Structure 1
Amino acid sequence: MLEKICELAQIAGSAIMNCYLSKKSVNIFYKSDNTPITNADYEANNLIKKGLLSIFPKIPVLSEEGSHNFKDHKNWDTYWLVDPLDGTKEFLKKNGEFTVNISLIKKGIPVLGVIYAPFFKILYSSFNNEAWKENKKKGYKKKIFVTQSKKPLLVTSRSHPDKELDNFLNQTNNSYKIKKLGSSLKFCYIAEGKAQIYPRFGNTFIWDTAAGHAIITAAGGKIKTWNGGELNYSLSSSYNRSCLINPGFLASS
């Protein structure tokens, strides 16, 4: 299963890169919340959804770029959760920090995660409590694990300013090094031991975090809400899932 999902993420990544490198202008649209979406988002979404339903026809798909009718999916116990192009703003800025995110959710828990960064040709994946990083350029694949550091690297969003985060940083000591980074690569940095902490106060959606959540936990890290609870991806009404927004959280090694 994991190998098939990795292949599908790379297919979507190739389509995204065709748009990224094209001399033609990218078609940009805006959602109701004024966030951008492009033809690359739509194309990647169509490829992933078609591929998932072809390989696993009995498992439904919830994607950022699909319909989000709570009544339709509230009884899904197992489903695919997809962000076909995480980091659209980074895609438009041409800094390469965008990813394809695919995760499998079972009973509210992300049990499989795949994150592909097509610009860098780096693939992160996890399943059965093991996590890997594969560099397609250099041709190697290795298991990854979180690490501790005397001077931890703290990663923050490159494109989403957060006043609560500024307050958090002002209240901490100066032992952190700080790096701004786009998309779900922040989770991957922690999973492979490059970074140790990612505090998030502003809104994220469940498709923004699920694949990264799966990879971090498989690599030995953790994600907790600011109340100490678990991020839960259940669509059941018992979890008050009337919207698809996460609470704030702290990802760490």
Structure 2
Amino acid sequence: MNYDLLTTVVIKAALEAGNEILKVYDSENFEVQIKSDNTPLTIADEKANAIINSYLVQTDIPIISEENKQTSYSIRQYWDSCWIVDPLDGTKEFINRNGEFTVNIALVEKGQPIIGVIYAPVTKTLYYADVKVKKALKAVLNSHDSTIEEVIEKSVSLKLNRLESDIIRVVGSRSHMNNETLNFIEEIRVGGNEIEVVSIGSSLKFCLIAEGSADVYPRFAPTMEWDTAAGQVICNAVGVEVISQKTNLPLRYNKENLLNPSFICKKK
């Protein structure tokens, strides 16, 4: 499998999807539907999903996307690899117009995510990584129409070069801070550490950890596999783990139940 080629495909897909999302975002108004799981859906989710699927079907690798009809596990259990996609992660942030939403695409092999892309359309910031070669990069682009050559030219490697500090920076969600998370933060504080809470939406929380702008991301509210797969790739590539609180092992993907257990994301 040519992972460099697949990375190029998903970068192109994410940029084009991000462009389409912003067309809706910048419009005067858009309809918000509520899905059966009580989560919001907009036309931007649907348009981005269609674009991403049009790219990924060309790879002949099956797709799990939040906005696709899910394939039965009786079939999925035989997949050695698959794409896991959230065409618009942070729909609540999109609706609130705070800019903190992303496009998430990851390739999973044998339950583990190995290449991934996260794109924040408002800031034109792209994160992409390949776990097998331990490489994660960030590019702030001039345009959604940037070529792969332009992406590479603007890319810088992510490094965990945080200076020693007594302050523990804990990532919290703008939409999902709960009592368990607050208790986790309090336990760190009781341990004698000063706490700084960094709030941000969508999979950008993983990116903060991967680029050294925060130290730990505890998640005790529900997430689905498409919320975390791309973020786990970015983190794993720089030596950050995303550990299930149920198994004490890295989160796994293409499970029978696509709901994630609680997890903690932090440096090894």
TM-score between both structures, scaled by the size of structure 1? 0.92
**Partner secondary structure for residue 171 of structure 2:** strand
Q: Which residue of 1 aligns with 2:183?
A: 167
8 A contact 1:64–1:82 mirrored in 2: yes
| Offset, 1:9 | 0.3
8 A contact 2:170–2:185 mirrored in 1: no
Q: Which residue of 2 aligns with 1:102?
A: 105
**Partner secondary structure for residue 231 of structure 1:** coil
Q: Which residue of 1 aligns with 2:118?
A: 115
Q: In the alignment, which of 132, 157, 167 is matched to residue 137 of structure 2? A: 132
**Do structure 1's residue 158 and structure 2's residue 174 form an aligned pair?**
yes
**Partner secondary structure for residue 239 of structure 2:** coil
| Offset, 1:153 | 1.6
Q: How does 1:14-33 map to 2 (within 5 A)?
A: 14-23=19-28, 25-33=29-37
Q: Which residue of 2 aligns with 1:67?
A: 69
Q: How does 1:148-227 map to 2 (within 5 A)?
A: 148=162, 149-150=164-165, 151-173=167-189, 174-226=193-245, 227=247
Q: Which residue of 2 aligns with 1:88?
A: 91
Task: Determine the C-alpha separation between the residues in 2 that align with 1:125 and 1:160.
Answer: 25
**Partner secondary structure for residue 61 of structure 2:** coil
Question: Greater CA deviation, 142-151 or 12-21?
Answer: 142-151
How many residues in Structure 1 have an aligned counterpart in Structure 2? 244
Task: Determine the C-alpha separation between the residues in 2 that align with 1:161 and 1:194.
Answer: 19
Q: Which residue of 1 aligns with 2:148?
A: none
Unpaired runs of 5+ residues, structure 1, are 236-240
**Partner secondary structure for residue 165 of structure 1:** helix
| Offset, 1:179 | 1.1
| Offset, 1:67 | 1.2
| Offset, 1:184 | 0.1
Q: How high is the sequence identity, in percent, across the aligned residues? A: 41
TM-score between both structures, scaled by the size of structure 2? 0.87
Q: Which residue of 1 aligns with 2:38?
A: 34
The amino acid across from 2:257 in the alignment is: C
8 A contact 2:241–2:250 mirrored in 1: no
Partner deviation per Cα, 1:40-87 (whole Å, 9 max, x = no partner): 000000100111112x1x211110111123233222110111000000
Q: In the alignment, which of 6, 12, 21 is matched to residue 11 of structure 2? A: 6
Task: Determine the C-alpha separation between the residues in 2 that align with 1:126 and 1:39.
Answer: 28
8 A contact 2:9–2:55 mirrored in 1: no
**Partner secondary structure for residue 66 of structure 1:** coil
Q: Which residue of 2 aligns with 1:229?
A: 249
Partner deviation per Cα, 1:229-253 (whole Å, 9 max, x = no partner): 12111x3xxxxx3310111111012
Task: Determine the C-alpha separation between the residues in 1 that align with 2:77 and 2:265.
Answer: 27
**Partner secondary structure for residue 117 of structure 2:** strand
| Offset, 1:22 | 1.1
The amino acid across from 1:153 in the alignment is: R
Task: Determine the C-alpha separation between the residues in 2 that align with 1:16 and 1:169.
Answer: 34
Q: How does 1:34-53 map to 2 (within 5 A)?
A: 34-53=38-57
**Partner secondary structure for residue 208 of structure 1:** helix
Unpaired runs of 5+ residues, structure 2, are 144-152
